Chains A and B, each alone.
Chain A
């Protein structure tokens, strides 16, 4: 990737220029799969990223998912109890988690924990001229740095989303049993009964899409970092905010595509 001087332009032009660069970066990173698999260096980075994204975020994901499942169950339970329909909590929780909350929470966790780290690392590398050094060695920074991250997050985000759903269901079942007097196994059985395969694969697809958004945005912002340590801080903040916005907007459009049309 060649470093090209930013051209002056309006806000709209700047936005579309940044969007274009991000889409280009995402495509190049996706096309970098052969390098990720074949080059030893990239494989090592890929393995490290799999660990960081998957295992590294597992404790946070567990706590967030557990409490989300518990809170949702409790709130819904209070409402459904008025109609003696406590078991409907499992039904609602299944829909909410598989379709929306699982991938959404995964996206938020990944944007906060992984996306910010990606932006900070690449931003620091940019400031320290390590990106320029890679270019001088005729090593494509996108292929070398972004492609392993992209493929790692594409693999780990759906897995993490699935794990998040399971933990939330367990948290919900625990609250259902202790607070709403719904037997634990009945709660779990209800979730399994109402869950559709489509909900599962749309949820997993969403998680993968959110992962791709997070990686693309964080790496783009990281590569565009200027102005030293303050610039790295600003890039990190931008990466998280833009990722959140992309997750929200992306979630809406995917839902609309799969459940409305």
Chain B
């Protein structure tokens, strides 16, 4: 047994050997994965969106998933969040196997996970500040003043200090995403999931959001999984990038290695102007 495996077990992390192997196989010297997929299968009818998928993401790592539309990138995030259940295989999050958790346990685990949905998913009848405050209010551990302070700090962190009283319908797409970002980080989650955080944004706002992802990842030491089409952004901020096609990762590697990959699918994302449509 390797030293990494012993360390993981010594740390009291409940992982099976398969999961540890998956973590070691894909992350080199790291241990204790925050997220671990072991042979996960997921299909919608005849379409396989997760085909014997095995990978892991470490605490503090920024893991980007890239791939053509409709290949199951968002499904990966929903499997991690327990919003979908795999048809086969195991999804382990923060040492817990999701399929073994009761609804209550899953609900408790989710409080350690932040999720930035593609459209923001803010409640339209609440202001941005009320949306950000919602998880804290619902869990009822803090006083109103403490909640207010936390909300203002989170809004300031995403550059929305003076926009808290606006409603989602009154703000731009970029502000909406940043407010949703603030809501996702308000409880200092150990895992952050981002579904297309820069889609539909202008390049400047996309860069701002990318920078925020990196900043939050560093500041909170959270395991971050970013689903994106934006290869340039992923190359800039990710620790590792995975390219998903037909339910499987074609490659999982560092940005440097991805840049040098000669896989046609990767090349099509790196140099879209030279790409034949059949590769995408």
Chain A interface residues toward B at CB < 8 A: 1-5, 39-41, 128-130, 132-133, 135-140, 144
Within B105-141, the residues touching A (CB, 8 Å) are 106-108, 110-111, 113-115, 117-119, 121-123, 134-135, 137-139
Pick from B103, B118, B135: contact of A137, CB under 8 Å: B135
**CB neighbours of B183 from chain A (8 A):** 137
**A136 CA / B123 CA spacing, docked (Å):** 13
Known contacts A133-B115, A138-B108; 12 additional CB pairs below 8 A are: A2-B82, A3-B84, A4-B85, A5-B84, A129-B117, A132-B117, A135-B107, A136-B83, A137-B111, A137-B183, A138-B138, A144-B138
Q: Do A139 and B103 contact each other (CB < 8 Å), given the known contacts A3-B83, A133-B117?
A: no
Contact B121 A128 (CB under 8 A): yes
| Closest beta carbon of chain B to A147's beta carbon, Å | 13
**A140 CA / B106 CA spacing, docked (Å):** 12
**A242 CA / B134 CA spacing, docked (Å):** 33
| Residues of B in contact, count (CB < 8 Å) | 27
Give 29 pairs: A residue, B residue, CB < 8 Å, sorted on A.
A2-B82, A3-B83, A3-B84, A4-B85, A5-B85, A39-B138, A40-B137, A41-B134, A41-B137, A41-B138, A128-B121, A129-B121, A132-B83, A132-B117, A132-B121, A133-B115, A135-B107, A135-B110, A136-B83, A136-B110, A137-B134, A137-B135, A137-B138, A138-B108, A138-B139, A139-B134, A139-B138, A140-B107, A144-B138
| Closest beta carbon of chain B to A36's beta carbon, Å | 14
**CB neighbours of B122 from chain A (8 A):** 130, 133
**CB neighbours of A40 from chain B (8 A):** 137
Nearest B residue to A125 via CB reads B123
Nearest B residue to A35 via CB reads B138
Chain B interface residues toward A at CB < 8 A: 78, 81-85, 103, 106-108, 110-111, 113-115, 117-119, 121-123, 134-135, 137-139, 183
| Closest beta carbon of chain B to A231's beta carbon, Å | 15
| Closest beta carbon of chain B to A239's beta carbon, Å | 20
| Closest beta carbon of chain B to A21's beta carbon, Å | 14
| Closest beta carbon of chain A to B94's beta carbon, Å | 14
**CB neighbours of B84 from chain A (8 A):** 3, 5
Pick from A2, A5, A39, A136: contact of B103, CB under 8 Å: A2
Q: Do A130 and B121 contact each other (CB < 8 Å), given the known contacts A4-B85, A5-B84, A136-B110?
A: yes
Nearest A residue to B84 via CB reads A5
**CB neighbours of B114 from chain A (8 A):** 136
Nearest B residue to A140 via CB reads B107
**CB neighbours of B82 from chain A (8 A):** 2
**A41 CA / B139 CA spacing, docked (Å):** 12
**CB neighbours of B117 from chain A (8 A):** 129, 132-133
**A136 CA / B137 CA spacing, docked (Å):** 14
**A245 CA / B2 CA spacing, docked (Å):** 65
Contact A138 B135 (CB under 8 A): yes
Nearest B residue to A39 via CB reads B138
Contact B119 A136 (CB under 8 A): no
**CB neighbours of A139 from chain B (8 A):** 134-135, 138
Nearest B residue to A38 via CB reads B140
Contact A138 B107 (CB under 8 A): yes
Contact A138 B111 (CB under 8 A): yes
Contact B106 A133 (CB under 8 A): no
| Closest beta carbon of chain B to A127's beta carbon, Å | 9
**A136 CA / B82 CA spacing, docked (Å):** 9
The residue in A128, A135, A137, A144 that gathers the most chain B C-beta atoms within 10 A of its C-beta is: A137
| Closest beta carbon of chain A to B226's beta carbon, Å | 16
**A144 CA / B139 CA spacing, docked (Å):** 13
| Closest beta carbon of chain B to A52's beta carbon, Å | 12
Nearest A residue to B85 via CB reads A5
The residue in B107, B118, B119, B183 that gathers the most chain A C-beta atoms within 10 A of its C-beta is: B107
**CB neighbours of A4 from chain B (8 A):** 85
**A40 CA / B138 CA spacing, docked (Å):** 9
**CB neighbours of B111 from chain A (8 A):** 137-138
| Closest beta carbon of chain B to A232's beta carbon, Å | 14
Pick from B78, B110, B118, B123: contact of A138, CB under 8 Å: B110
